[in-house]
Amino acid sequence: MKIKGGNHASLITPSEVRKEVSQYKAPTSSVKNNILYVHLQEFNGSSSQGKRYASTLYHKLTSKTYKGIIIDLKNNLGGDIGPMLAGISPVVPNGKLFEIVSALNKSMSVTFQGSVTNNMGTKIDLGKIKKLQELLLQ
């Protein structure tokens, strides 16, 4: 697994999953000089925690217009990409995000629409999403 997945590949036991859910960490943010700084914690939790994680990020990004946004992935070891992308959906374009190629050379596209990631991660639907361009025009 380490060879194919690098630092983002691991196996976890059911008890480790329960521990992750019980140790849920919300994303954090701060504003300095009208620049929003968001620290994107890795996410490994329940679907309701995923929705809360995404909503927290989304509302921070859309609550006002900033001069800039910095999304910090430092110390983010991976996890469920669905809630993370849903939360920052205002700055993630709709469409194909990337492609995964298996050891058998079969490819699968990971796409994004609104706040929903398809073919990877938990699907988090936050309803009608305001994209960054829409926010800047307000």
Q: What pLDDT is recorded for position 102?
A: 83
Q: For the purposes of burial, counting CB atoms within 10 Å of the CB of 132, is it exposed (0-12), middle (13-18) or buried (19 or more)?
A: middle
Rounded CA separation 102/46 (Å) = 27
* Residue in this structure with the two tokens 């943010």, named with its chain if needed: 29
Which one, of 123, 79, 118, 64, lies nearest residue 95 by Cα? 118
What is the CB-side half-sphere exposure of residue 115 using CA atoms within 13 A?
21
What is the reported pLDDT for 79?
85
Full DSSP string of 10-52: ----HHHHHHHHHT----EEEEETTEEEEE---B---HHHHHH
- Cα–Cα nearest to 55, from 23, 80, 90: 90
- The residue ranges of DSSP E strands in 22-138, in sequence order, are 28-32, 35-39, 68-72, 95-101, 107-113, 116-118
* pLDDT value of residue 29: 93
For every one of its 138 residues, what pLDDT tens digit does the chain have, with 9 covering 90 and above? 566 566 656 666 666 655 665 677 888 999 999 999 999 988 888 889 999 999 999 999 998 889 889 999 988 888 899 999 999 999 999 999 999 888 889 999 999 999 999 999 999 999 999 887 765 555
Q: Which of 78, 30, 64 is nearest to 135 (CA)?
A: 64
